[in-house]
A and B are shown apart, each in its own frame.
Chain A
C-alpha cells in the first residue's frame, strides 16, 4: 500500500469506504425475496440494481487503470451479488491505495462510477421501505467509516434511530 497518497486520492478512498458502509447496510437483512421485488414493469429489481453497482465499480477500476471497459452482468443470487459488491469495492480500493497511476482525475472517478453507485444505494434503501422492510435511520457522520474498510465486515457501533 502506498502511504503517501495525495489528499484527493485519500478522500476518494474514503468515499469508496462510505459506499461499502452504506451499501452494506442497504442490502443486509433485507426481506425474503427482496432481490426480486419489482414495483412495475420498467423498474429495476434490487438484484438488478446491485448487479449494476458491481458493474459500475468494475468500470471505475478499468478507468483508473487505463483500460476502460463496460460489461452488463446478469444478477447473481442475492448473497452472491452482495459478495460481488464487496469484492469489486476491494479491487477498486486496492488500486486506489497502490502506487499505480490514476488514468483519470479523482473528480471524474467520483462524478461517474462512485457517485452513480451512491445514488443507486439510495434507491435500494427506498425500495426497502416500499417493500415493507425499511432500514433504520442513522447519523452517518458519526459512523466508523475508514478508508480500506470495504468488505462486508463493517462496524456494528452505529448511531441508529427509528
Chain B
C-alpha cells in the first residue's frame, strides 16, 4: 500500500475509534435522542456517516449509494463499521479511483465529513446528559486493521475533567 493510502487507512481507523468512544456505554435510548427539530439524532448521524463513506466507496466501485434507515441503532452502527472495512479493503488492494477522484479529495470530502460527525455524536452524548470522558488521543491504540466496533479503552484517560458530571472519577 502506498504511503498516502496508509494514512487514509489510519484515518478510517481513527474514525472507528472515535465513533466507538462516542457510542460506548451510551444511554439505552441514545440512538433516538433529538436535541431539537432539524438536528439529526445519533442514529441518523451514524446512517449519514455510513452514507458519506458509501459515497466514497462509489469512487472505487461505481454506482450510487443511499442507505435505507435500519430498524435499530445497533444495526446502523454495524453497517457503519462494515462500510469502514469495505472502504479500507479498496485502499489496501490498491484499487484505482474512478472519475478523477484522488486521495486528497477523499480525505477533504467524505472522510473528513465523517470525522466531523463523530465529534457531533460526542456533543450529543453531552447534551443527552451522558458525556464522554476526555483522553490523550495521541497515545490511543488506533490500528489500521482495527475498524470494527470492538475498539480498545483509552490508553491515557485524562486525570482532570473540568466539565465532568457529578460523581465522575478518573480511571
Point out the residues of chain A lying under 8 angstroms from B123, CB to CB. 43, 122-123, 126-127
A42 within 8 A of B: yes
| Residue in B4, B11, B116, B163 whose CB lies within 8 Å of A7 | B4
CA distance A145 to B120 in the complex (A): 23
Point out the residues of chain B lying under 8 angstroms from A63, CB to CB. 138
A141/B4 contact (C-beta < 8 A), A119-B118, A123-B119 known: no
CA distance A72 to B56 in the complex (A): 36
A40/B7 contact (C-beta < 8 A), A126-B39, A141-B106, A145-B108 known: no
A91 within 8 A of B: no
B131 within 8 A of A: yes
Total interface residues on B, CB under 8 Å, equals 46
Point out the residues of chain A lying under 8 angstroms from B39, CB to CB. 126, 129-130
CB within 8 Å of B: which A48-81 residues: 63
Q: Is the interface of B mostly helix, strand, loop or mixed?
A: helix
The 0/1 profile, CB within 8 Å of A marked 1, for residues 6-49 of chain B is 11101101100110000000000000000110110000000000
A140/B112 contact (C-beta < 8 A), A15-B107, A43-B126 known: yes
Point out the residues of chain B lying under 8 angstroms from A126, CB to CB. 39, 120, 123-124
| Residue of B3, B39, B119, B131 with most chain A CB atoms under a 10 A cut-off | B119
The 0/1 profile, CB within 8 Å of B marked 1, for residues 128-147 of chain A is 01100010000111110100
The 0/1 profile, CB within 8 Å of A marked 1, for residues 81-117 of chain B is 0000000000000000000010111111110110111
Does A112 contact B138, Cβ atoms closer than 8 Å? yes
CB of B104, distance to nearest CB on chain A (Å): 5
Does A130 contact B36, Cβ atoms closer than 8 Å? yes
Point out the residues of chain B lying under 8 angstroms from A145, CB to CB. 104, 108
Total interface residues on A, CB under 8 Å, equals 47
Does A110 contact B165, Cβ atoms closer than 8 Å? no
A12/B127 contact (C-beta < 8 A), A44-B163, A115-B18, A115-B137 known: no
A140's nearest neighbour on chain B, judged by CB, is B109
A84 within 8 A of B: no
For this complex, 26 residue pairs linking A to B, each with C-beta atoms less than 8 Å apart, are A8-B3, A8-B4, A11-B104, A11-B107, A12-B7, A14-B107, A14-B108, A17-B108, A22-B116, A42-B163, A104-B138, A106-B7, A107-B10, A110-B11, A115-B18, A116-B137, A118-B116, A119-B118, A121-B116, A122-B117, A122-B118, A123-B119, A126-B120, A129-B39, A130-B39, A141-B105
**Chain A residues within CB distance 8 Å of chain B:** 6-8, 10-12, 14-15, 17-18, 21-22, 39-40, 42-44, 63, 104, 106-113, 115-116, 118-123, 125-127, 129-130, 134, 139-143, 145
